[in-house]
């Protein structure tokens, strides 16, 4: 019902009761299922007890709970989260950028299902310059291991010194999709970043840092996939 800072002020000024007793210590713990919390005498309920996290994934961290080859996993970056949360889709070991994790299976399913047309934006760096035929093929669809890629928005961000940076906007997430698409037109991706997922970016997060989504962000995600 209020920001963290405003909530602390409410607590410190004696406006919050747990089971009928005023608490003034912001670290007081409550059991959302058993305790009765009142603010200004009115009961409040936990609106959202699920956990939604945005991680700025660095390269070199595996998106997996297990670590079969002794590489680092993203869970080593998520210290302080004491519930089990699952990645929404995957990023390759060497890919960096926006990775959402949550314990909300319905939302995660819809965010990754192509039917809901959630936008994922990637920046891919490669040697050489994809020509007009290659760019058209990337936009219209190229053959992948499991079928054909769906139409995508693709633009050249920079083409200089024999290298090209492409931006690709996709609504699906087949395995290693961007790398497969670029390979299909003769270019190996050297470096890949996911800059946006469903409108969320890594703004204000350094590589390896994470934050909880705000309630407004969760609401927007749910609206995007028709979960309202
Ligand atoms: N496409 C890829 O090829 N790799 C990723 O990590 C994400 C999208």
Can you give the residue range of the structural domain that contains 214?
A: 52-114+199-224
Question: What does the pLDDT look like over 112-161, one tens digit per residue?
Answer: 999 999 999 999 999 999 999 999 999 999 999 889 999 999 999 999 99
Are residues 216 and 108 located together in one domain of the fold?
yes
Q: Write the CA distances from 93 to 90, 176, 215, 222, integer angstroms.
A: 9, 11, 30, 28
Are residues 65 and 109 located together in one domain of the fold?
yes
Are residues 105 and 212 located together in one domain of the fold?
yes
pTM of the model: 0.80
Question: Which residues of the chain have a pLDDT value below 70?
Answer: 1, 3, 32-33, 45-48
Give the model's pLDDT for residue 70: 77
Give the model's pLDDT for residue 26: 83
Give the model's pLDDT for residue 145: 85
**Is residue 184 within 6 Å of ligand 1 at its C-beta?**
no
Are residues 191 and 123 located together in one domain of the fold?
yes
Are residues 131 and 27 located together in one domain of the fold?
no
Task: Answer whether 54's CB lies under 8 Å from 200's CB.
Answer: yes
Are residues 95 and 206 located together in one domain of the fold?
yes
Are residues 178 and 82 located together in one domain of the fold?
no
Q: How far is the CA of 91 from the centre of ligand 1 (A)?
A: 6
**Is residue 177 within 6 Å of ligand 1 at its C-beta?**
yes
Q: How far is the CA of 124 from the centre of ligand 1 (A)?
A: 9
**Is residue 95 within 6 Å of ligand 1 at its C-beta?**
yes
Q: How many domains does the chain have?
A: 3
Please report, for the domain that includes residue 173, its CATH number. Answer: 3.30.70.1560
Are residues 108 and 205 located together in one domain of the fold?
yes
What DSSP assignment string belongs to 104-156? -HHHHHHHHSGGG---EEEEEEEES---HHHHHHHHH--EETTEEPPP-EEEE
Are residues 29 and 89 located together in one domain of the fold?
no
Please report, for the domain that includes residue 8, its CATH number. Answer: 3.10.290.10
Are residues 103 and 205 located together in one domain of the fold?
yes
- Which DSSP state fits 67? -
């Amino acid at each position: 019902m209020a920001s963290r800072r405003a909530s602390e002020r409410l607590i410190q000024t004696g406006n919050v009761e747990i089971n009928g007793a005023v608490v003034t210590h912001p670290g007081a713990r409550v059991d959302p299922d058993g305790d009765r919390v009142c603010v200004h005498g009115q009961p409040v309920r936990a609106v959202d007890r699920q956990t939604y996290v945005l991680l700025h994934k660095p390269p070199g961290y595996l998106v997996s709970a297990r670590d079969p080859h002794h590489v680092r996993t993203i869970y080593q970056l998520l210290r302080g989260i004491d519930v089990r949360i699952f990645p929404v889709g995957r990023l390759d070991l060497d890919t960096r950028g926006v990775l959402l994790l949550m314990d909300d299976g319905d939302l995660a399913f819809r965010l990754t299902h192509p039917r809901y047309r959630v936008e994922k934006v990637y920046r891919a760096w490669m040697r050489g310059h994809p020509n007009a035929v290659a760019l058209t093929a990337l936009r219209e669809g190229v053959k992948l291991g499991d079928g054909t890629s769906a139409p995508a928005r693709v633009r050249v961000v920079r083409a200089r010194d024999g290298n090209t940076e492409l931006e690709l906007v996709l609504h699906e997430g087949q395995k290693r999709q961007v790398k497969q698409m670029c390979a299909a037109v003769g270019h190996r991706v050297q470096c890949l970043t996911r800059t946006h997922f469903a409108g969320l970016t890594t703004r204000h997060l350094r590589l390896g840092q994470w934050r909880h989504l705000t309630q407004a962000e969760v609401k927007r995600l749910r609206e995007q996939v028709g979960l309202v």
